[in-house]
Structure 1
Amino acid sequence: MSKKKRTSKGTPATVALDQAGVPYTARPYDHNPDAESFGLEAAELLGVAPERVFKTLMAEVDGDLVIGIVPVSGSLDLKALAAAVGGKRAGMADVATAERVTGYVVGGISPLGQRRRSQTVLDDSALGYETIYVSGGRRGLDIELTPDDLVKLTDATTAPIGRPTSP
């Protein structure tokens, strides 16, 4: 993996990585706005197993906003997310709130470089991979980095918060 230099086309996510001196690889792809699942589209176009591509979702746990990062091959287990942060009730945050708080559009929300930092939980399955992929801050751009670097940069905890999608 190479460290990409900050360019005028950088996103807040790549700027945050550059400022932290964290090695990563930007992985652009030709995004189709009609894709049913942006995450599965990214996995397919990048030639990566969907279990290594992670989506960033915002939930509300007992009134607090929390970021859950789970594989695109499954879904976020809201009960598990609530338990991971010591909460009782969780529901998905509405789209407008997620976009306003993160500074990104849905489908391009990165766990990195958000406008306002929220408590973050990464599904522990990420720890089984040398590198994982997360949104780079816009549709059509993923970032490959180590799970450990993602945890450090987002001050995340890890827990089993992902739920496989039924076949």
Structure 2
Amino acid sequence: MTDSSERAFVPIRIAVLTVSDSRGAAEDRSGDVLVQRLEAAGHTLAARTLLRDERADIARQLSDWCADPDIDVVISTGGTGLTGRDVTVEAHRDVYEKEIDAFGTVFTIVSMKKIGTSAVQSRATAGVARGTYLFALPGSPGACRDAWDEILVHQLDYRHLPCNFVEIFPRLDEHLRRK
């Protein structure tokens, strides 16, 4: 096994999508948390936008970013709850080729330490489409901090061992290539 100190950091390009019917760019604290953290970690903000809770619009934005060769990862915040307007999870699943089932489980474990059984109300999810990772986080700044600090900062760092999302980037779309 390679020692993590032997690996060089690999910056990745991350798009941030905030989903909200009630917030504008000036009130987007959750998006701000994500941008601050990804840039502090050495990654690049590739794009950022805010959309209303409209499933087709969210799915279209996710698909467009997955088709963009200058975006490696998409992180959305908001719309993962249980109300009728919370459609981000469904929009993500409209786009996924594969779901990363354990992400939601690990996020729930992290959340339980902070908010107890209220963690059951989140439907945080993750998946892969067209060689791009997609993560759907709840809309609170605290949830975004928890997801980044406890999961994403590690899994989006090539130096993290024993494994991480970055090291398998080249193989995410191998099913699309023909020999």
Q: Structure 2-normalised TM-score?
A: 0.32
Q: Structure 1-normalised TM-score?
A: 0.34
